[in-house]
Structure 1
Amino acid sequence: MDKSLSKSISYFGLIALGAGGVIGSSWIYTNSKFFAMYGAGGEIYGLMVAAALAILVSLSFAELSTIFTKAGGEVVYGSAAFGKKGALFAGWALVGAYISTMAFYVTASSMLISTIFPQIASGPYYEFAGVKVHFTELALGIGITLFVFIINYFGAKIAGNIQIILFIGLIVLGVALITVGFTQGSVSNFTPAFSEHMNKSSSIFRFILPGMTFLTGWESVAIMAEEANVPARKIGLVVIISIVIAAAYYILVLMSSAWVYPWEKTATMEMGTISAFKAAGFPILSIAAYTISFLGLATSFLTFFSSAPRLIFSLARQNVLPSYFNHVHPKYHTPTRALWATLVLVLGLGWLGKGAVVYFLDMGGFLVALAWSFNALCLRKIRKSHPELVGKFRNKHLFWPTLGGAIALIIALATVIPGTLVSLVWPYEYVILGAWIVIGLVCYFITRKTDEPVETEIEQLTQRTD
């Protein structure tokens, strides 16, 4: 039996979920590492390229989200365009990207707290990829994960309202950093933006993949469209607005940290932007940057933990996953079984700890690139096969979203080909990717006998909510 989710997310709640979901945590302190690897120019310019790509891709999401306003976003579009296999391909890629990101957050939260309370990072531990994971850190991360799970369990409205408050805090603190960074800093701290030994083009290109992971989350607007108490056209606009706000935020804050203090010195520090503002003589703003990392972690965690279960729920609704996950709580109107599945997956990977940060970023980037490229293909297919389906937001030409999809596909292919600038790390990332594909295929074959005609599915999905 098909179950519906209640419309409880406001317009601003939807923007907060979309943009706030993109603005994560690690970017504000890992820029010391990335400055050292790629230069300030490599990270910032690479992020600009990734942002331009995300905006192009968002055009296809924006149009399709106003045609199909059911939970699941790309799962629904994949089903409408290519049937059950399309739903699996699209949904499983995004679920994997979101789970990868949340798995990193399990220990990232405790890592941040340990900078204030170092005793957390002590006592019994185990190692993964040469990095220690203390049991106290893991326990704290699990506790925070359970708290985020509980918030989402009790309804999208609660998660949306909390997200609005956290997002406002992010904006206020970000504006403070940007204002002081550019007014009190100097362009000479930023230029030259690359070290002498760095290849500028390869440095920029190499950062596009983690940059795409940083910019993931705005897809949640389309994924949660069924629960948005917003006219269809505005849903499409929010998709684009979310990525524009988040990309501008990332670029300006990172640029301000390279403006306020020499980036090559920041590259040798422990906490990136946090350390840069402190070294530049602004300890209060250093605390503000530290607070941003916590708020960003919370907003991203909330968004991904809202979106991933809706993807799983939608896959079950399309008979791609077992119907067991197509269940809505009678009181809270949330996909509770899909939420539990998300929790198990996140904690199942989260124990890998800080040593797996690069794996999570790279895997997330690859899966996002795959999902983005496929969405552009879905739009072209639906336009051709069902010209009668016209959304409230419509691209005048398909060139730009198609271009974004093509570039995303090239990047995705480059990551699985050994020896390129963005190749996955052997063997760990290939093993994780292989395991994720196998799990998805097993689920598909378990449910393949319950396949439904694609045309019937399209008729059901074209019920618009204005």
Structure 2
Amino acid sequence: MPRQELNKTLGFIPLVALGVSGVIGSSWIYTNGTFFEKYGAGGMIFGLAIGTVLAACVALSYAKLTALFPRAGGEVVYSYTILGRQMGFIVGWLLIGAYISSLAFYFTAFGVLLELVFPQLSTLPLYSIAGANVTLPVLICGLALALLFYFLNYFGISLGAQVQTVLFGILIVIGLSLAVVGFSQGSIHNFWPAYYEDRGALLSTLRFVVPGMTYMAGFGLVATLAEDAKLPSATIGRLVVLTVLLAGTFYCVVLAASAFILPWKEVATMDQGSITAFRQAGFPLLGWGAFIIAIVGLLTSFLGLFMASSRIVFALARVRLLPPNLAKLHPQHHTPRDALLFVLILTIGLGWLGKGAVGWFLDTGGIYLGLVWLIVVISHLRAPRRYPHLKDRIPPRSVLLPLVGAIGAVLVIILALYPGTDLSLIWPMEYIILGGWFLLGGLLYAFASPLPEDQALADLLGEHVDTLSSDPTSTVPGREAQSQRR
């Protein structure tokens, strides 16, 4: 059976657009008032900046590993190749849990966000779960969104990338407009002092570092789509880091502009954060611009995560850790049609629970992503030991900064699991969901019929399988490395 390969259609700009706009979410621009109230404007902005740096440190591991293995599935490929089959499945399963939870949340949040403009969407309640009403119009909006992006991906990633590039341009233009007006028409005195007098500046900043890292969730999208890109593998790797830095800069600049245009303590009292701030400052069009950022951020994140989820499913199915039918490609468009349908079904099925219940799943995603980041850094550390001939391409010093980022990933996990923190999981539902997801994954792995290692590595890595051997003429993946380990 011929090997299933994805089309290489993504260029530099589309890949940057997918990466950056896939990270920039929605709620941050209208909930920042709440965070200003809890941490001060300085706590949120500077904490987010530190979180961005830590995420960029983790992204350095992605950059190194993507340069070696630019294949669909990103983290699945690294962990499977370096740490083994079991770890490859764990990483893929964690990513599916994190990404599908986010997609399901956006499924409902899209209609809820539109309610700010169209209040009639809150009518016709169907049922209530976890204290949140689920209305028919909101579900129809979510269903339309999911189907739209499913078909955009079904007919080829280039079409979805074109849409993402346009939306990315809209984000940048509006964000720059908010920044220019906020900094030129506002005042530094509205921002500084940036903390509450009765709360320590350092503690307020550090408390937002972990949430700041979670704001960067999704930067692995670039690595996941590496097989779709028509770029040198080293360039793709560097784009992972660039994605984090650009997204983090965008967040910080727009949030700072919101704290310049009006005294940030006033913004802290506003229900819609930056949206209300610019309106009350006398710039109603920019208030609408902030609202458009929320909508566009939701759309770009949904589209990016939909693409990424399908590639993760595709990679696991490629090596039969999920049903092999999920690795089939459309004969004409060369898109993972069954994997896309699988993601669509999960998104709709979970999304119909409503924002209250989906919030439980979304919260556990922070743990999943923290574990994935940690495993990627461990893969970076272990690669030269597993394949000694790669030492020149992955020198020991290259893992120093990623290890710093890994500490941040561990903090994400600890603060989510430890009761009583601002990031703690909700007892008992979120702990039940966490345990249930691991149990379901364990059952799937136990009943899987995986390919033999050599064949699996060949299918997973394609033309890059020779990277595993110091002998370029070797036809058996990893044979040279295996003999050295003996």
Q: Which range, TM-score by smaller chain? A: over 0.9
2:450 corresponds to which letter in structure 1? T
Alpha-carbon distance, 1:424 to partner: 1.4
**Is the alpha carbon distance of 1:21 and 1:158 closer, same or farther for their aligned partners in structure 2, counting shifts above 3 Å?**
same
**Is the alpha carbon distance of 1:151 and 1:462 closer, same or farther for their aligned partners in structure 2, counting shifts above 3 Å?**
closer
* 2:473 matched residue in structure 1: none
* 2:101 matched residue in structure 1: 100
DSSP 3-state at the match of 1:291:
helix
Distance 2:459 2:148 in 1: 39
Alpha-carbon distance, 1:320 to partner: 1.7
Of the structure 1 ranges 452-461 and 182-191, higher mean CA displacement relative to structure 2 is found in 452-461
The within-5 A match list for 1:71-110 is 71-110=72-111
**Is the alpha carbon distance of 1:414 and 1:6 closer, same or farther for their aligned partners in structure 2, counting shifts above 3 Å?**
same
Higher relative contact order (CA 8 A, sep 6+): 1
Query: Are the aligned partners of 2:105 and 2:359 in contact in 1 as well (CA < 8 Å)?
Result: no
DSSP 3-state at the match of 1:235:
helix
Alpha-carbon distance, 1:198 to partner: 4.4
DSSP 3-state at the match of 1:116:
coil
* 1:211 matched residue in structure 2: 212
Of the structure 1 ranges 401-410 and 152-161, higher mean CA displacement relative to structure 2 is found in 401-410
* 1:189 matched residue in structure 2: 190
Of the structure 1 ranges 374-383 and 209-218, higher mean CA displacement relative to structure 2 is found in 209-218
The within-5 A match list for 1:109-148 is 109-148=110-149
Distance 1:325 1:391 in 2: 37
DSSP 3-state at the match of 1:72:
coil
Distance 1:308 1:456 in 2: 20
Structure 1 vs Structure 2 CA RMSD = 2.3
* 1:262 matched residue in structure 2: 263
* 1:64 matched residue in structure 2: 65
Query: Are the aligned partners of 1:63 and 1:391 in contact in 2 as well (CA < 8 Å)?
Result: no
Distance 2:221 2:75 in 1: 10
Per the normalisation by structure 2, the TM-score is 0.90
For residues 139-165 of structure 1, the C-alpha deviation after alignment (integer angstroms, 9 at most, x for no partner) is 211111111111111111111111111
**Is the alpha carbon distance of 1:349 and 1:204 closer, same or farther for their aligned partners in structure 2, counting shifts above 3 Å?**
farther
DSSP 3-state at the match of 1:133:
strand
Alpha-carbon distance, 1:361 to partner: 4.8
Query: Are the aligned partners of 1:233 and 1:393 in contact in 2 as well (CA < 8 Å)?
Result: no
Per the normalisation by structure 1, the TM-score is 0.93
DSSP 3-state at the match of 1:450:
coil
Query: Are the aligned partners of 1:316 and 1:324 in contact in 2 as well (CA < 8 Å)?
Result: yes
Of the structure 1 ranges 248-257 and 197-206, higher mean CA displacement relative to structure 2 is found in 197-206
DSSP 3-state at the match of 1:3:
coil
1:261 corresponds to which letter in structure 2? L
Q: How many residues align?
A: 465
**Is the alpha carbon distance of 1:337 and 1:199 closer, same or farther for their aligned partners in structure 2, counting shifts above 3 Å?**
farther
The within-5 A match list for 1:442-457 is 442-447=443-448, 449-453=449-453, 457=457
Query: Are the aligned partners of 2:261 and 2:281 in contact in 1 as well (CA < 8 Å)?
Result: yes
Alpha-carbon distance, 1:419 to partner: 3.4
Between the aligned residues of both structures, percent identity stands at 41
For residues 364-398 of structure 1, the C-alpha deviation after alignment (integer angstroms, 9 at most, x for no partner) is 22221111111000011112211323798978532
Distance 1:220 1:288 in 2: 26
* 1:35 matched residue in structure 2: 36
DSSP 3-state at the match of 1:132:
strand
Alpha-carbon distance, 1:268 to partner: 2.1
Return the index of the structure with the highest Cα Rg.
2
Alpha-carbon distance, 1:199 to partner: 5.3
* 1:426 matched residue in structure 2: 427
Unpaired runs of 5+ residues, structure 2, are: 468-486
DSSP 3-state at the match of 1:270:
coil
